[in-house]
Amino acid sequence: MQTKEDYVNYRIQSILWGIFLPLSCCGCSHAPSVDVFGSFFPAWMLCVSLGIITAGIVRWLLVRLKFEAQITFPILFYPGVAVSVACMVWLALFR
């Protein structure tokens, strides 16, 4: 048997689901794509590629300057650089 408090909680939950569920689909309207040599690629592929290339350049630069030994966890540092650059490129170009 439901109490009045359970009924009120159920109503609040159903109202919140009715509001926030449609809002979560607002970002699904279209997928940005980029024209590369006449072929359209998803924009995230371009951002990830630039992030990986930048992480490689950062590693090369740190090795040349003999600073790579100072990095404690390179397995976390270089993917972090790649993800940071990919997100910055995404925000700068595709918002």
pLDDT tens digits, one per residue of 36-63: 676 667 888 889 999 999 999 999 999 9
pLDDT of residue 65: 94
Instruction: Classify residue 34 by burial, with Cβ atoms within 10 Å: 0-12, 13-18, 19+.
Output: middle
pLDDT of residue 17: 80
8 neighbors 59 (Cβ within 8 angstroms)? no
User: How far is residue 31's CA from residue 44's CA, in Å, rounded to a whole number?
Assistant: 9
Flag residues of the chain having pLDDT under 50: none
Average pLDDT, the chain: 84
pLDDT of residue 62: 94
